[in-house]
Copies of this chain bind each other. A is one copy, B any other.
Amino acid sequence: MPAPYETHRAQIEAILLAWSVPPVGASRAADIMAWADLHGVDSHGLSMLTVYDQRRRQDRLRLDAVPTLSRETPVSALVDGGGGLGHPAAFLAMETAIAKARTTGIGVVCVRNSSHFGACGYYTAMAAEAGFLGMAATSASGIQVAPTGGAQARLGTDPWSFAAPGREGEPFLLDMATTTVAAGRIRNRANEGLPCPPGWVLTRDGHPSTDPLEASQKGGSLTPLGGSPEGSSYKGYGLAAMVNILSACLSGSTLITDPMHLRQPHGQDIGHFFLALSPGLFRDGDDFRRDVAAFCDALRATPPVDEAAPVMVAGDPQRAHAARRRHEGIPVAPGLMAKVRAIARESGAPWLLDEDPASPSSA
């Protein structure tokens, strides 16, 4: 039986607390990771505990870090993540950006010396819930994307999220890697023994391939959004570069192209960027929200190619996931469940999630 959201969240928090993450940070990180799982972004929730556990063991993550604010102006601030989990630093940053937007109409906060912060969309959703446009981006740890025309990976998946408040509880919410697809979708193809569609991966010489093992095992790379020069992958490549400029260059974090990437003694030194902007600077905020809602409705009303698949707007698929999972609980695959159980046991955290009795790992 999938556990209810609350239990799922509590399990994450219990493990983070057992790892000595300070209570406020553990609570926020658990919110953010459980939010990802609730909204169907399974790659950025509970499953990340296995990655954080690895980094913790390698002494590459300072779990007791407390993020701090510096260089504040009425419209901006810089956050130092202290080499800890990205979530508490990123939350503080977007919270600060929103507070500044309440006063001046806009807030921009950059973060340096951070690490993986979970789903980008959580932070822009914070802004939208507060009535603001939100923007968030982060630099990445993995080097896996080749620039257009290049035969070697130089960039990360470099996600960027944008949100805007519309009808209550229905923000426009785009959260996208600037690659054609995420590495996880390619892994799924490999697991199923299926080829990738053209445009997803490149060989180590930079040539198109449909082999799902190309990027992960054969020295190849992922493509920027667009997929090929003919598909205008220079656009996805350009967006990825801009994500790095906003996240790493602005905050002064180590560039992904720097030989010191992930080798700084003070932590992974990942950088993030957050912006909150008040529509009230330009017009009545309610009129703005009404226009966003009308615009989204008009897009949804587009005659669909397939009658069974109505046109959606960014945020709709994730909200559908959340509605279902709030009702049915959050499923965790048996393999992951076993790994998380081992992590909980070893860290001395209480075990709160029921395992599927049919799963071999519960033996």
A249 to B293, CA, bound (A): 10
Residues of B within 8 A of A150 (CB): 299, 302-305, 311
Residues of B within 8 A of A251 (CB): 282-283
A74 to B295, CA, bound (A): 30
Residues of B within 8 A of A287 (CB): 252
Does any Cβ of B come within 8 Å of A255's Cβ? yes
**A149 nearest CB across to chain B (Å):** 5
Does any Cβ of B come within 8 Å of A71's Cβ? yes
Picked from B225, B226, B281, the residue with its CB within 8 Å of the CB of A108 is B281
Contact-size category for A: 35 or more
Binds B, one of A54-62, A173-181, A324-332: A173-181
**A309 nearest CB across to chain B (Å):** 6
Copies of this chain held together in the complex: 2
A245 to B288, CA, bound (A): 9
Q: Report if A242-B174 is in contact (Cβ < 8 Å); known contacts: A106-B75, A281-B108.
A: yes
Residues of B within 8 A of A310 (CB): 149
Residues of B within 8 A of A45 (CB): none
**A89 nearest CB across to chain B (Å):** 14
Given contacts A75-B105, A148-B311, A257-B294, 17 further A-B contacts (CB under 8 A): A73-B281, A75-B104, A75-B106, A76-B281, A147-B302, A150-B311, A164-B245, A172-B245, A174-B242, A181-B232, A199-B227, A205-B305, A206-B304, A226-B231, A231-B231, A249-B279, A257-B298
* 25 A-B pairs whose Cβ atoms sit less than 8 Å apart in the complex: A73-B105, A75-B104, A76-B106, A78-B281, A108-B277, A110-B282, A133-B246, A148-B311, A150-B302, A151-B302, A151-B303, A154-B299, A154-B302, A155-B299, A162-B239, A172-B241, A207-B305, A227-B227, A231-B231, A250-B283, A255-B291, A255-B295, A257-B298, A258-B294, A258-B298
Picked from B155, B180, B230, B241, the residue with its CB within 8 Å of the CB of A226 is B180
Residue of B nearest to A163 (CB): B242
A206 to B133, CA, bound (A): 31
Within 8 A of B (CB), among A157-177: 162, 164, 172, 174, 176
B-contacting residues of A (Cβ < 8 Å)?
A: 71, 73-76, 78, 104-106, 108, 110, 133, 146-152, 154-155, 162, 164, 172, 174, 176, 180-181, 197, 199, 205-207, 225-227, 230-232, 234-239, 241-242, 244-246, 248-252, 255, 257-258, 277, 279, 281-283, 287-288, 291-292, 294-296, 298-299, 302-306, 309-314
Residues of B within 8 A of A249 (CB): 164, 279, 288, 291-292, 295
Are A244 and B295 within 8 A (Cβ)? Answer: yes
Residue of B nearest to A283 (CB): B252
Residues of B within 8 A of A207 (CB): 305
Are B152 and A303 within 8 A (Cβ)? Answer: yes
Are B313 and A241 within 8 A (Cβ)? Answer: yes
Residue of B nearest to A291 (CB): B249
**A362 nearest CB across to chain B (Å):** 37
